[in-house]
Amino acid sequence: MHSAIYLIMLEKIESMISMAKEIADVIRSYPGKIHLVSHYDCDGITSAAIITKALFREGKDFRVSFVKQLKEDMIKGMSNDEEKLIIFTDLGSGYLDVISKHLLSEERKIIIADHHQTEGDDKNNNLLHINSMKFGMEENVSGAGVAYMIARSLNPENIDLSALAVIGAIGDSQIGSIGSSWGLMGLNKEILKDAENSKKIKVMNGLRIWGRYTRPLHKALEYSVDPYIPGVSESESGAVQFLQELGIELKDEKGMWRTLASMSEEESKKLASGIIKERIRSDEENPDFIFGDIYELLDKNGEFRDANEFATMLNSCGKLGKAYLGIALCINDKKAFEEVKPVFEKYRRSIGKALSWIESNQKVIKRGENVTWIMPGNKISEHIISNVASIMHRSGMLPENKPVFAMADTENGDVKISARASDSLVENGMNLKDIIREAIRDSSGDGGGHAGASGATISKQDEEMFINNIEHNLRRYYEETDRKPAGEESRKEGRKENR
Ligand SMILES: [Mn+2]
């Protein structure tokens, strides 16, 4: 028996599939060279890898481009290209008017496969716009998921590309809480079933701690801020001592650091109950909410086996200008696995450096009444400002009851903004995407994302206006919803009142 909600979802998926079939027909019958344009992050890379592999299977001639974001001159420039079929993945929906203006013509067809907010009109026979939101799916669909729908319609063999769509969704932070556990939901979960059926992914339940294959055990615990382990999180010596008390060896017989993935079942249980005990002892909320789905990529090994960590690697490729290397990893190109190691290392180091820079330059953290700003100017790269925002937001160092906005100057004189809000703020109705969109409405800026994680790029001259608008919009939000961003203590009191 399926619930009504499940059946409604299946109906939405059905109508999306019929659109995907229409697009597949266009691709199949197109004889010339195709240009595939995708976003440069993990979701965009997996989207491109899915379409690449599918086009390859159809014997098509094509080339791939990655962009950080679409720009009008870039789109205009494409009107001179030889390709008369252009496919956009994980982007494009926000630029329908610009794309129509410069690229639509009698002899050119445009396919846009996206899951971001739509801006503009898509009514044109030569514009095939497939966006999950159009079919009533606001979340739990990635750009790679939409791309997978097309690939699946092209050829049933492409069911083996479902794992890439799962990785895209994970890279886009679409794993969320389901009751006391964590995992993928909605369409993502349906695609996950394809990945399990095609023996590409194995789902297990385990400790929800990052770095199962890539971090020494004690480091994985030290860096875990969600779930938080009192006395262990953010303390290396605390983590080492904790493991010793549990009788879990830090190194193997060869003297190498052990990882979470190397632990026996018995050790995993010991560790889990140890963590729960610590969380009970210091009155953490939901002390046993430390488990979630773990997705193992069955065609990959070692540090590439955990889907979560693999997604991070793809993001690092994109952000360091090596999105092509990401595609190579997705299609299991042997050389790529060696080539990516220094790239990933460099990425991790640059994030680490950025965080310690903030630690010794605390004045860039500006604690406003309604929002916490992190303003490092040009001291932190635009490419990692969103990572910095996420990590700082989860670190427990900033007030949880206000959103975090991090801003970095970009190479071409703009300002990149990355904002994060906690689950409880989002559950209470805060929507950062809307708040940002409203704040940039009167400027040339460009923004998008989701309720709890959103971003924008604005010109430097609009920076002050943006800050004022955000402060204003949030003040109004708190007034309207009567939810003051009060301190920790009063927040707990508020909760009691609600009971
Ligand atoms: Mn995406």
pTM of the model: 0.86
Does residue 185 sit in the same domain as residue 256?
no
Structure letter (DSSP) for residue 49: H
Same domain for 149 and 26: yes
Calculate mean pLDDT across residues 436-443. Answer: 88
Distance 455 CA to ligand 1 centre (A): 12
Phi, psi of 456, deg, nearest 5: -160, 160
- Determine the distance separating the centroid of ligand 1 and the alpha carbon of 128, expressed in angstroms: 19
- pLDDT higher for 485 or 418? 418
Lowest-pLDDT range, 18-22, 211-215, 392-396? Answer: 392-396
> In the beta sheet, which residues pair with residue 130?
113
In sequence order, the 6+-apart residues with CB closer than 8 A to the CB of 479 are none
Query: Residue 481: its pLDDT value, please?
Result: 77
For residue 53, the domain's CATH number is: 3.90.1640.30
Contact (CB, 8 A) for 111 and 27: yes
Q: Are residues 265 and 157 part of one domain? A: no
Query: What confidence tier does 446 reach under pLDDT thresholds 50, 70, 90?
Result: confident
* Whether residues 23 and 169 fall in one domain: yes
Q: How far is the CA of 309 from the centre of ligand 1 (A)?
A: 17
Is pLDDT at 496 greater than 50 in this prediction?
no
Percent of the chain with pLDDT over 90: 73
Q: What is the pLDDT of residue 484?
A: 64
168 Cα: distance to centroid of ligand 1 (angstroms) = 7
- Residue 160 located in a structural domain: yes
Domain hosting 232: range is: 215-281
CA of residue 115 to ligand 1 center, whole Å: 7
Q: Is residue 275 part of a domain?
A: yes
Give the per-residue pLDDT at 494: 29
pLDDT per residue as tens digits for the range 27-82: 999 999 999 999 999 999 999 999 999 999 999 999 999 998 898 999 999 999 99
Residue 25 shares a structural domain with residue 141: yes
Instruction: Dump pLDDT digits (tens) for 451-485.
Output: 888 889 999 999 999 999 999 999 988 888 776 66
Note whether 272 and 184 are same-domain residues.
no
Last residue of a domain, one of 153, 177, 204: 204
pLDDT at 174: 87
Q: From the CA of 281, how far away is ligand 1's center (Å)?
A: 39
Beta-strand ranges (E) seen in 397-470 are 404-409, 414-420, 446-449, 453-459
For residue 311, the CA-to-ligand 1 centroid distance in Å is 12
Cα 262 to averaged position of ligand 1 atoms, centre (Å): 32
For 93-143, what is each residue's pLDDT tens digit?
999 999 999 999 999 999 999 999 888 999 999 999 999 999 999 889 999
pLDDT of residue 495: 26
Average pLDDT over residues 301-321: 93
Asked, for residue 332, whether it belongs to a domain, the answer is no
DSSP symbols for 91-151: --GGGHHHHHHHH-BTTBEEEEEE-SPP-S----TTEEEEEGGGGT--SS--HHHHHHHHH
Query: How many Å is the Cα radius of gyration of the chain?
Result: 23
Q: Is residue 442 a part of any domain in this protein?
A: yes
Could you tell me the distance, in angstroms and rounded to a whole number, from the CA of residue 246 to the centre of ligand 1?
41
What per-residue confidence (pLDDT) applies to 487? Answer: 45
Measured in Å, residue 485 CA sits from the centre of ligand 1 at 30
152 and 265: one domain?
no
Tell me the average pLDDT across 358-385.
93
What is the number of other CB atoms lying within 10 angstroms of the CB of residue 350? 19
Domain boundary among 204, 235, 251: 204
With 70 as the cut, is the pLDDT of residue 286 above it?
Answer: yes
Domain boundary among 281, 296, 321: 281
Is 355 part of any domain? no
Considering the domain boundaries, does residue 403 fall inside one? yes
User: DSSP label at 256?
Assistant: P
Q: For 262-274, how does the pLDDT look when each residue is reduced to its tens digit (9 = 90+)?
A: 999 999 999 999 9
Q: Which residues pair with 374 in a beta bridge?
A: 365, 406
475 CA distance to ligand 1 middle (Å) = 30
Instruction: State the Cα–Cα distance between residues 440 and 456, nearest whole angstrom.
Output: 8
Q: Give me ligand 1 centre to Cα 142, in Å.
A: 5
pLDDT of residue 499: 24
Q: What is the pLDDT of residue 176?
A: 81
* 438 contacts: CB under 8 Å, gap ≥ 6: 469, 473
How are beta strands 372-377 and 414-420 bridged, if at all? Answer: unpaired
pLDDT band at 387; cut points 50, 70, 90: confident
Number of H helices, E strands in the chain: 18, 15
Distance 18 CA to ligand 1 centre (A): 22
Query: What single string gives the DSSP state of each residue in 209-231?
Result: -S-TTTS-HHHHHHT-BTTB-TT
Is residue 200 located within the same domain as residue 259? no
Same domain (yes/no): 81, 27? yes
Compute the distance from residue 465 Cα to the ligand 1 centre, in Å: 28
Residue 23 maps to a domain: yes
In this structure, are 252 and 137 located in the same domain? no
* CATH code of the domain covering residue 399: 3.10.310.40
Q: Give the chain's domain count.
A: 3
Mean pLDDT of the chain: 91
Q: Specify the pLDDT at position 51.
A: 98
Q: Round to whole Å and give the CA distance between 178 and 171.
A: 18
pLDDT of residue 1: 61
What percent of the chain lies above the pLDDT cut of 70? 96
Element (H, E) at 112: strand 109-114
Same domain, 175 and 230: no
On whether residue 144 sits in a domain, the answer given is yes
Which position has the higher pLDDT, 1 or 431? 431
Closest CA to 424 of 455, 402, 391: 402
| 363 alpha carbon – ligand 1 mean position (Å) | 33
144/50 same-domain check: yes
